[in-house]
Structures are given as structure tokens and as C-alpha cells.
Amino acid sequence: MREIHHWIDGKETKGTSGRFADVFNPATGEVQARLSLATKAEMDDAIDRAAAAQLKWGATNPQRRARVMMKFVDLINRDMDKLAEALSAEHGKTFPDAKGDVQRGLEVIEFCIGAPHLLKGEFTDSAGPGIDMYSMRQPLGVVAGITPFNFPAMIPLWKMGPALVCGNAMILKPSERDPSVPLMLAKLLQEAGLPDGVLQVINGDKESVDAILDSDVIQAVGFVGSTPIAQYIYERAAATGKRAQCFGGAKNHMIIMPDADLDQAADALIGAGYGAAGERCMAISVAVPVGEKTADALIEKLVPRIEKLKVGPWTAGDDVDYGPVVTKAAKENILRLVQTGIDQGAELVVDGRDFNLQGYEDGFFVGPHLFDRVTPDMDIYKQEIFGPVLSTVRAASYDDAIKLALDHEYGNGTAIYTRDGDTARDFANRINIGMVGINVPIPVPLAYHTFGGWKKSGFGDLNQHGPDAFKFYTRTKTVTARWPSGIKEGGEFNFKAMD
């Protein structure tokens, strides 16, 4: 059985714990590798080594650090297909979607090339008599990234790019489910010129995460994953004085107004609800048509589209719409929640429970589901399902529709489909959710804006990527300087002109 270990000081390093996690092929259900899980002692040692390496890296000028990112961009593009294949093989998402995962991470690395500009400080000339004041952004030291399974390229890249280019060293603790791509990225960074030790990829579970949280050396923690763990990490990191930003789960609503183009809205819902088997924090999991007529027409348009979805392994070709979910446990949890929906009175319009794929009977495939007449008290409405299950909540009016999204505990993303600018503008202004789409179903901001949810979807300060990331990964120091004048009176340095 293939074993996957750690990346320490620029080398693949065998773990010593004797503890392993299974890495599955989600399409077949087979275990394809064993992942070494680090002990606290291994994590502490890697952190100390990173601290030693950071001193020189932090003192390297930003332009040189940016050049490492430039080269990294080239290398990711060179190895795009290899990265995407490794990603699909462990995550299960389709090959084009895996490339998208790499691409959206790559764009943040491109943004990081602007570090010399983004790290420029501020300067006030003559803040007082003979006094100048300036501020500079300095690296924090050693920081940590703890990342989820669903974007094994994009989210590690969102963490490592800004953290490293700001002059920090980073401990990356990727998901145990699909650890190969983060290790491949670490190797590419070495090839791009990153000094050894500045990025350590340590695989592990709660023991490694707790070692990060309790370390005196780690200065900041960037986490992405489920809400209970995000809150736990935020609280424990803050208790030891660390800077922390922890992004959690989601329940993203799309409001469909009576004046919307319903074909466009239905197409958008199919992609945003079922793409990547619904395993996206920006997936739309709740459709809110306004008015009974809109709801009936929308359901009528959704059903044939859902029935046409092609579900299969990534190896079956680029026309597969989505692949398996990540584990057997994830599949069971989705089917359990579907059952609660039925038991609690929702109408299951498309039933994917008996989905079976010949030759892949043990794979973690889940057929697409569509619920209608879901109400806010149901578990399928309150909880994140993280599977190919779309719930429809019928709203009588725009006010009822926006209230649903306003009152939901999650606040990651949302969308509205309408032809009316006034309604769209009101929605964007009033909604208490971090990322809003207007006739755009998955409003993931581009690299030079920032990404972050509100309410239970995000704990801590500042967002991911964009200018916020440069603030998160640096500290501001402000210097006030007075240079006493006097030399002008004391000496004569002027080249005398002839009288």
C-alpha cells in the first residue's frame, strides 16, 4: 500500500507515529493509500524548524519573494494536468472541475506577485517640526493553515501564497482525505526557489491541529472547514493570543423573483446545486422562488434538467457532471438527512436514493435529489447537507424570501435572480451575507477582492485573499522619527560661489 508522509525542510519525511488514515478512491470505495498522522512532537519539531528558516526568508526583500511566486505560477501551469489528475483521484471531482480548483488557487498566486506594491507602508512627511512618521508591514513569523477536503488545491494555495510572500514561514495541515496535491504544490514551490523549511506540510488529525493551536511559536491560524471545528479553532487559537480567521460551513439561498429569466435561473441552480456533488461551500442548497406561479414553473424546469445529469467517475470523460462524494460516511450522512426531509414532510420531487452505477457499486456516488415545500423548521433546511440535494422553500413575497436568508445562521454566499435593478440593489444592501450574486449563482470573488462569509460561516477578522490577506499575514509597525537639526549651523559645506 502506498504511504503518504510529510514535507519537512524540503524533503519527503517519513512519519514516526505509526498512526495512519485511509485515503480512499471515492469512485471505487477502495483504500488507495495510507496517510501518516503526525504526533505533537513531530509537529512541534517542524514548527521550530520553520521558525529557524523564517528568519532569513522574512529578511529577503519582497521583490525576490515575489519572484518565487512568479516561477511558481509557471510551474503550476506546466503541471496543471498532473495536479488535476491527482486531485480527481483522491477527491472524486471531475477533471475539468479539478482544473478549476487549481486555477482559482493559481489566480491568488498571480495576485501575490504584486507583493512589493501591496507591502508598501505609509509615510507622513513633517508630522511635527522635524518629525516624520512611517508605518511598515512586517511578517508575523510562523503561521499555520488548516484546510478542508473539498478544494485541496485552491484553499492551500489561498493560504500559502499570501502567507509566504509576506515573509512568513507556514505550517500547512491539509485535509486527511486528499493530501497528495498540497504535497505536490510544496515540491513545486521548492523548484520555484522557496528556501527549505519555509513551508512545512504536516499531515495529521486533531492531535496535530491541537499542537498548532497550543504552540507559542505559531502567530496566526487560517482555517477553512466545517463550522463546529472553525469555532473550536478560533476559540482555542484566540485563547493563546493568536491571530485567527476561521471560515465555516454554509447554507446558500438563491432567490428567484417572478420577473427572472427562469431558464437562466434553472441552469444556474443545476450547476450551483449539483456541481462537485454539492461539496462546495458556495453551492446553492436552497432555492427560494417567490410566488406559487414562479415556484411551479421553476420546478417544472428543474426536473428534466436534473434527470439528465450524468453522474460518474472522473475517468469516464469530461461530460460527467459530477462525481462521488468524498467518503462513505459523507454519503451516509447525506442519505440520513434526505430521510429526515421525507419524515418531516418535505416533498421529494427527484429521488436519488437508489442511484447505482454499474461497475462502481462500492463507490460513494449519490444521485441528485430535489425537495419541494421545505420549511425552515426542517433539518434539511437548518443543516448543511454538503451533497447533491437542492431544497426548495416557497416564499409568498420578496420580503419573506429575504427574511429567510437574513434569519439563517449561515452567511457565506447568496444569490438573487431578477430583472429588476431596484430589487437587486435592495437585496445586496440589506442582506447579512458575505458574498452576493446578482444573476450569478456562485459569486466567488476573484483573487484581487476578498473571500469570506458572515455569521456562523466565518469567525475572526479579515477575509481570505485580496488585500485583506496581506493585512492578516503582516503586523503594522509605526515609526516616529525626529532628526535634530544643527549640522547646518555647525559646519559650512556649501561650494562658495564667486562674489
Question: What is the 3 state secondary structure string of 287-334?
Answer: EEEECHHHHHHHHHHHHHHHHCCCECCHHHCCCCCECCCCCHHHHHHH
**CA distances from residue 333 to 21, 232, 283, 327, 337 in whole angstroms, order as listed:** 20, 22, 17, 10, 6
Under the binding rule (CB under 6 A), the answer on residue 252 touching ligand NAD is no
H/E stretch holding 284? strand 284-289
249 counts as binding ligand NAD under rule CB under 6 A: yes
CB of 253 to ligand NAD, least distance (A): 15
Stretch that binds ligand NAD, among 57-65, 221-229, 256-264, 347-355 (CB under 6 A): 221-229
Decide if residue 97 touches ligand NAD (CB under 6 A). no
Residue type, 240: T
User: What's the number of CA atoms in the CB half-sphere (13 Å) around residue 44?
Assistant: 9
Candidates 4, 76, 119, 209; binder of ligand NAD (CB under 6 A) is 209
Q: How many helices (H) and strands (E) does the chain have?
A: 17, 23
> Largest alpha-carbon pair distance within the chain?
104
Closest residue to bound ligand NAD by CB: 225
Residue 457 lies near ligand NAD (rule: CB under 6 A) = yes
For ligand NAD, the closer of residues 287 and 330 by Cβ is 330
Sequential DSSP letters for 176-211? SSS-HHHHHHHHHHHHTTPPTTSEEE---SHHHHHH
Of positions 173, 242, 251, 456, contacts ligand NAD by CB under 6 A: 173
Which of residues 235 and 307 has its CB atom nearest to ligand NAD in the complex?
Answer: 235
From 112, 166, 246, 281, the catalytic residue: 281
Q: Which residues in 104-133 contact ligand NAD (CB under 6 A)? A: none
As given in the structure block, the three cell numbers for residue 308 are: 439528465
Q: Least separation, in Å, of the C-beta of 40 and ligand NAD?
A: 13
For ligand NAD, which is the closer residue by CB, 48 or 214? 214
Interaction between residue 225 and ligand NAD (CB under 6 A)? yes
Phi-psi region of 386 (alpha: psi -120 to 50; beta: other; left: phi over 0): left
List 9, 196, 205, 214, residue binding ligand NAD (CB under 6 A): 205
Stretch that binds ligand NAD, among 3-11, 105-113, 180-188, 205-213 (CB under 6 A): 205-213
Q: Among 33, 66, 143, 146, which residue interacts with ligand NAD (rule: CB under 6 A)? A: 146
Options 13, 175, 200, 215; binder of ligand NAD; rule CB under 6 A = 175
- C-alpha dihedral (207, 166, 4, 22), degrees to nearest 10: 50
Give the binding range for ligand NAD (CB under 6 A) out of 97-105, 121-129, 244-252, 363-371. Answer: 244-252
**Residue whose CB is less far from ligand NAD, 176 or 468:** 176
Residue with cell 512541534: 44
Nearer to ligand NAD, 72 or 247 (CB): 247
Gap between the Cα atoms of 406 and 423, Å rounded: 15
Asked if 464 and 451 touch (Cβ cutoff 8 Å), the reply is yes
455 binds ligand NAD (CB under 6 A): no
Q: Which residues pair with 218 in a beta bridge?
A: 142
Of 24, 95, 149, 459, the one binding ligand NAD by CB under 6 A: 149
Which is nearer to ligand NAD, 295 or 330 (by Cβ)? 330
d(CA 260, CA 257): 5
| Cα gap 40→187, rounded to integer Å | 24
Dihedral sign computed on CA atoms, order 297, 302, 307, 308: positive
Please pick, from the candidates 26, 105, 139, 148, the single residue that binds ligand NAD as defined by CB under 6 A.
Answer: 148
Whether the Cβ atoms of residue 316 and residue 323 lie closer than 8 Å to each other: no
Q: Which of 76, 89, 164, 224 binds ligand NAD (CB under 6 A)?
A: 224
Whether residue 166 lies in the annotated active site: no
Q: Does 453 interact with ligand NAD (rule: CB under 6 A)?
A: yes
Q: Do the Cβ atoms of 174 and 201 come closer than 8 Å?
A: yes
Residue 384 makes contact with ligand NAD by CB under 6 A = yes
CB of 12 to ligand NAD, least distance (A): 20
Q: Which residues contact 230 (CB under 8 A, 6 or more apart)?
A: 223, 224, 246, 247, 248, 249, 458, 459
Q: Say whether residue 412 binds ligand NAD (CB under 6 A).
A: yes
Contacts with 154 (C-beta within 8 Å, 6 or more apart), sequence order:
101, 102, 104, 105
Could you say whether residue 88 binds ligand NAD (CB under 6 A)?
no
Residue 273 within binding range of ligand NAD, rule CB under 6 A: no
Q: Which residue of 24, 360, 386, 417 would you call a contact of ligand NAD, by CB under 6 A?
A: 386
21 contacts ligand NAD (rule: CB under 6 A): no
**Separation CA 149–CA 7 (nearest Å):** 18
| Closer of 251 and 394 to ligand NAD (Cβ) | 251
Choose among 306, 255, 250, 287: nearest CA to 444: 250
Is-contact 188 76, C-beta < 8 A? yes
**Binder among 181, 281, 311, 370 for ligand NAD (CB under 6 A):** 281
> Number of residues in contact with ligand NAD, rule: CB under 6 A?
26
Kindly tell me which residue out of 54, 88, 94, 150 binds ligand NAD, with binding defined by CB under 6 A.
150
Q: Does 190 bind ligand NAD (CB under 6 A)?
A: no
Q: What are the residues binding ligand NAD (CB under 6 A)?
A: 146-151, 173, 175-176, 205-206, 209, 224-226, 229, 247-250, 281, 384, 386, 412, 453, 457
Q: Which residues are catalytic?
A: 281
